Amino acid sequence: MRKAALLLLTAVVAAAPETERALVAARKARRVRVAEEIGEGYALVIGQPPTEVLHPGQHGHFLYLTGVDEPSGVLLLRGAKAKATPAAEGRREMLFLPKHGERHRQFTGHRLAPDKATADLLGIEVVLPAPRRAQGLARELAKLLPHKAVLWMPAYRGPDDAFVREIRRDTLESLQALRSDISVQDLHPVLARMRSIKDPLELGALRRACTLTVEAFHQCLPAIRPGGSEAEVDGVLLAAVRARGARPAYPFVVGAGANAAIPHYFRNADALRAGELLLIDAGGAVDRYAADVTRTFPISGKFTARQREIYEIVLRAQRAGLDAVRVGATFREIDAAARQVIKDAGLGKHFIHGTCHHVGLDVHDPGPTRIQAGMTFTVEPGVYLPDERIGIRIEDVVLVTDKGVENLTAAFPKDPDEIERLLAASRKK
C-alpha cells in the first residue's frame, strides 16, 4: 500500500523525487506561516468536493497548503499561540481525507488514504478519515476547538468557489448550532497575500509553463491560414501543450474575425477567413502553475493598414504598462499607463477590461494589487471593435524582482513585422 501511495503522490505533484521533497518542505513552511499569522486562532481550509465533473480542479488554497490534487479533503491548523484541546492530542495540523472502498478504487484508481503513510508522504502531522457530510465535520470541529475559538476560513467568494462555499456555509451553520462561542474570520486575505509572492519552486514551474506555451504558439503557426479553422488551431495548441507534459491552464481562446472582439470567446468553432485577424489566448500549466499568453495574427499573413494601426496602438499601450511595472506601484497605475495610450488614440471605450491579474496556481490568482518583489502577473491591454471585426490583445506574464522586471513570455515576438515574418516562414515549411 505504501508503494501505491508513493506512486500516487508522484503523480499528484508531477515532479522529480528531489523536487517532491522540496515541495513537501515548502508546503510545511506555508502551513507554519499560516499558524503564525492567525496566532491564537484555528484555520480551516476546504478542498474542492466531487461534482458532476469527475475530476474537478482542486481549490488553489487547499492545493497550496497540502499538495493534494484530489477531490475533497479538509485541513485544520492550530495557530502558533492557540490552545489545544485534549481531543486534538497536541496536534498542530490535521488533514482529513475521504476513506474509499474497493468499488471506488475500481473506478478511479488509487487515492491517498487517511493513514500514517500518507501523512509521512505529505509531511503533515496526521491524516484522518474525513467526515462524510458538513454536519459530521461540524461535530468533529466542536470537539477539537477550544472555548471561544476564532476559526479562520476563506470566504470563498469567487465565481468558481460555489461548491466549496456551500460546504463552508453548511459546516458553519451546524457548528454554530453546536458551539455558539466560536467566531469566524476570513482567511482569504492571508492566503492571497502569501500566494502572491512566488518561491523558487513556484517560479520554476511558472517558467516551464511559459516556455512550453511559447513553443506551442510557434507550433500552431502553420494552421493560421485562410480556409483553416479555429478548432484546428485550438487542437494544435492543446496537442503541443500535452506533448510537453503539461495541461491546459484554462479553455483556450481562439477567436477569428468578430470573435476576436469577444475577450472570453471559447467556442473555437468558426472558420479562418482571409483578411481577418485571429486572436489566441492560451497557456499551459505545470504542476498547476499557469501561463497566460495572448497574441494576435493576420490570417492572410499580412496586417491590413487598419489592423496594423490598431495593433500598434495596443502594442504601445502594453509597452507603457510594462514600463510602469515596479516594486511599490499598483495595478491601477499600470492600467492607467496602458489605458492612457488607448484613450489618446480615441479608442478608450473599446478597452473593456483590466490590464493586470495575478498568475500562479490559478490563472487568475488572488493577491494584493500593490506590487512586491516575487509577484507574477499579466500585462494585457486590448482594443475590441466588433463592427469592424477587429479584436487585438497582447498579453505577457511578468515577474517582478528587486532588480527590475522579467518578461517570462517575451520569447514570442509582438512586433507586427516579426509576426508577419513568422507566419511567412511557417508557410514555407
Q: Which of 165, 195, 225 is the last residue of a domain?
A: 195
- In this prediction, residue 3 has a pLDDT band, given cuts at 50, 70 and 90, of very low
The average pLDDT across 134-143 equals: 96
Number of separate domains in the chain: 2
Q: Which of 195, 226, 245 is the last residue of a domain?
A: 195
The average pLDDT across 187-196 equals: 98
At residue 14, the pLDDT reads: 46
Q: Which of 178, 195, 212 is the last residue of a domain?
A: 195
- In this prediction, residue 108 has a pLDDT band, given cuts at 50, 70 and 90, of confident
At residue 9, the pLDDT reads: 42
The average pLDDT across 353-361 equals: 98
The average pLDDT across 235-263 equals: 98
- In this prediction, residue 100 has a pLDDT band, given cuts at 50, 70 and 90, of confident
Same domain, 34 and 176: yes
CA-based nearest residue to 297, from 428, 427, 142, 163:
427
At residue 56, the pLDDT reads: 64
Same domain, 101 and 124: yes
List, for residues 110-133, the tens digit of each pLDDT value: 789 999 999 999 999 999 999 989
Same domain, 261 and 127: no
Q: Is the pLDDT of residue 99 over 50?
A: yes
Residue-number span of the structural domain to which 334 is assigned: 197-426
Strands 42-46 and 150-153: parallel
Considering only CA atoms, give the Rg of the chain. 24
The average pLDDT across 312-336 equals: 98
Q: Are 326 and 401 in contact (CB under 8 A)?
A: no
Q: What percentage of the chain exceeds 70 in pLDDT?
A: 95
Same domain, 173 and 256: no
Same domain, 232 and 176: no
Same domain, 259 and 123: no
Place of cell 469566524: 184
Same domain, 206 and 190: no
Same domain, 278 and 350: yes
- Cell reading at 6: 508513493
Overall residue count recorded for the chain in this entry: 429
List, for residues 52-91, the tens digit of each pLDDT value: 655 568 999 999 999 999 888 999 999 999 999 999 999 9
Q: d(Cα 312, Cα 307) in Å, to the nearest integer?
A: 9
Q: d(Cα 34, Cα 30) in Å, to the nearest integer?
A: 6
| Higher pLDDT among residues 260 and 105, named by residue | 260
- H-helix or E-strand spanning residue 195: helix 188-196
User: Please, which contacts does 400-404 make with residues 24 or more away whose CB atoms are closer than 8 Å?
Assistant: 400/325, 400/326, 400/327, 400/371, 400/372, 400/373, 400/374, 400/375, 400/376, 401/373, 401/374, 402/327, 402/373, 404/326
| Higher pLDDT among residues 101 and 215, named by residue | 215
At residue 11, the pLDDT reads: 42
Domain of 83: which CATH number? Answer: 3.40.350.10
- In this prediction, residue 8 has a pLDDT band, given cuts at 50, 70 and 90, of very low
Same domain, 269 and 280: yes
List, for residues 269-306, the tens digit of each pLDDT value: 999 999 999 999 999 999 999 999 999 999 999 999 99
Same domain, 171 and 204: no
At residue 121, the pLDDT reads: 94
Same domain, 229 and 289: yes
